[in-house]
Structure 1
């Protein structure tokens, strides 16, 4: 009897076997953040770069998107937000009105707060020191108590998003005061100590205005807690955040490989990442006037025209930016016209090691992104190889449920020697169904998403499901937002029962040890430094890096 092996990535983590249940929570993904600052004499089109960056991060959120830009010569910000996809929200007409020297953008999938326009990011607020804007990826585990703290200070909140809470907390002075003027670094440290996870935050701020409307101070910044663009990463659960570099036109070299159209600004950018591990990535931007040129690693003497910051490095390819490095857990990074500077690394309470979200490898991140010095695609292939060793089976073909599981299926095929063939084709015009805000929408999306390639499995009567991830059994309060065990099918049915439910002959998951081995093998420990990230497996093992606040 012929067999067919199907490798899946997440492994039917959503339960909701009752088709009539409309869950308001469900499995929720972290969002995507992108920031850009143009050099003083740069011709960089900041809004276009922000739109390109957010489009590259569209897989991290499809509910809404927004951006805020600012100019050096004035204290005002320009803001545009909307529900839907990035390409629908930011038309050429809208982008033409968003001209600026720096900006931050956000694409959202709600983990806290409802899917509504009022919760769209970035958030902005006016302070005595000028306006600040915040874009946030992740979820505050103690948002309830922090929200009460803000309200008790007489500050009203206009949304249900924890991102607005972060914005308001950064407006307050630290307990020790600010005798020498506003200290954004101290404010950010105060916030990070109050909420150790889980977030990657970009903060942009402008100069204060006088009553006559003229500006005071020296200029705009995008920051995490300081002038410019700041990126912060939480102390406990790490989310991705990465900086990149842009070169000036005269410094680029001719090459026919691809179009390098990016450049990065030299204003203050501060990036902050929680101590645990949401990732942020920084890159240099190199402007080449849309000609076919590429910058190589050896071209280190070129002067960058700017920098960009992103939740994932995949956003750099579309704009031609050069990867610089990942922001470390707990690190506060400032980017100015002088370059990238680490302001501080806030230690995790009790000196425990950080914990990078392992589900980024399993599903969330794009396969062409670099996380912890390794490509996500390669990790997923190793998961498939591990799975072939742990759960071998006799079969005629190995296939996949596209697309996150495809590298795992190829790895399984390679290790087992069973040929790979596609049995499903994906409609490219249907977005990610896994991050739809309700079960009903996910089910309808799947129905539109796949078509069967029946000739590739004609005569095959036996189906074995091999899942390139351990079963998701426990709630996650740190960016995925799985509030209850009842939402997860692995808590309701054993693998044998799942096989019956799916009409398969067997269901076997990758072990947690197998996943950890696959993710650790390719980590660039030298690039990560002494702050090497361990991984958070709370949704798989029930072992949380920090006890979450119950709500």
Structure 2
């Protein structure tokens, strides 16, 4: 879970008594830092638990914004953890009051699942307004999710590999080796290598003691993180033309130091292939892309992005290619799953950061 947030972490436990009592501990930094042994000891006395790790999209990075929150309601105290932004919070506050739900499986969009001593019950599945398609974040497949995660009946690793196959078909390269910016781009790089017939080698050694740079709260920390994060495995690519696969380029301030590192270590050429389309629009649903001005795809430099970042060429996967790679596996799963096939369950994804088409009307 920590790959989703590294600024702070919190745990709330309860013994299930009525009225409920809660034991809470929150701390800044990584989980290993936020929870010393004495904190874990006091959390042991309970059979219910909510955990949360955070990276800030709104609000400042301090302990008061660390989740889970314990709040008073008309029905008593409840503990709540959430991800993303509630863009229609004011309207929801007027219309809806719901209890806490715990789940043990993938929950369908709009579904409420209750687990109690009486068993597991699906309480309801709230449809999208006016029969609209679901809008699962497609960037979970691209970057955020762990590769062993299962969404919509398919493994994220396999989807990323299909993105690599599609990218190789759309943007072939005259090169000697294929490699990756580890680790979220590795499945796509392997897929690209398989489809193109080029050998896959490792060119970067990752320092595992440095956290994820994308979710650092400002540009300076992201750039410092990159310089500490990788070392060059020069024997694998000295004098060779390298196709370097990255999962995405949002701001463009982390890929340039990597290209410089490879060329200084002996790469003859470095060609960047991105296993997702250009990110052009901010996300208002909880991903840390607050303004269009920050995004490299909206800057004048994008017209010559290869020159701007120091690469010999840059190509992106198309939106159509990404959607196809994601939805191909869902279609196969639904054919095998009799329940999904019978229900003719709709499939849809949010591509707002790529296309500007948001799944809900934004209320500010």
TM-score interval w.r.t. the shorter chain? 0.7 to 0.9
Alignment of 1:109-148 (within 5 A): 109-127=55-73, 129-143=75-89, 145=90
Whole-angstrom CA distance in 2 between matches of 1:484 and 1:128: 38
Contact 1:495/1:507, CA 8 A, preserved across alignment? no
**Which residue in the other structure is 2:27 paired with?**
82
How far apart, CA to CA, are the structure 1 residues paired with 2:285 and 2:303? 31
Q: Which residue among 338, 348, 363 is the counterpart of 1:534?
A: 348
Distance (Å, rounded) in 2 between the aligned partners of 1:60 and 1:128: 32
State the alpha-carbon separation in 1 of the partners of residues 54 and 132 from structure 2.
Answer: 30
Corresponding position of 1:336: 116
> CA deviation digits over 1:165-220, x for unaligned, max 9?
x8xx5xx8x6xxxxxxxxxxx722xxxxxxxxxxxxxxxxxxxxxxxxxxxxxxxx
* Aligned partner of 2:101 among 197, 215, 230: 230
1:81-100 CA distance string (max 9 Å, x none): 11111111123321111120
Q: Distance in 2 between matches of 1:371 and 1:510?
A: 21
Cα contact 1:60–1:364 (8 A) shared by 2? yes
1:484 aligns with 2:291: yes
Q: Quick one: distance in 2 between partners of 1:338 and 1:471?
A: 48
Mapped pair 1:377 → 2:157? yes
Quick one: distance in 2 between partners of 1:495 and 1:481? 21
Give yes or no for the alignment of 1:522 onto 2:329. yes
Map of 1:361 onto structure 2: 141
Does 1:417 find its partner at 2:215? no
8 A Cα contact 1:361 1:376, kept in partner: yes
Residue 307 of structure 2 is matched in structure 1 by 500
Cα distance in 1 for residues equivalent to 2:350 and 2:223 = 29
Which structure 2 residues correspond to residues 239-278 of structure 1 after superposition, within 5 A? 243-244=103-104
User: Aligned to 2:81, what secondary structure does the other structure show?
Assistant: strand
Matches within 5 A, 1:149-548: 169=93, 187-188=97-98, 225=99, 229-231=100-102, 243-244=103-104, 282=105, 326-460=106-240, 461-493=268-300, 497-523=304-330, 524-525=333-334, 526=337, 528=340, 529-548=343-362
In 1: Cα distance, 2:2 partner to 2:134 partner = 27
1:73 deviates by: 4.3
Gaps of 5+ in 2: 241-267
Give me the CA root mean square deviation: 1.9
Q: Is the 8 A contact 1:125 1:131 kept in 2?
A: yes
Which whole-Å deviations, capped at 9, do the CAs of 1:459-480 have from their partners, x for residues lacking one?
1312211111000001110121
CA displacement 1:490-525 (0-9 Å, x = unmatched): 111465511001221110000001101100111122
Q: Shift of the alpha carbon at 1:343?
A: 1.2
Bigger fraction of residues in strand: 1
Question: Which consecutive unaligned segments of at least 5 residues does structure 1 have?
Answer: 1-56, 147-165, 175-185, 189-224, 232-242, 245-281, 283-325
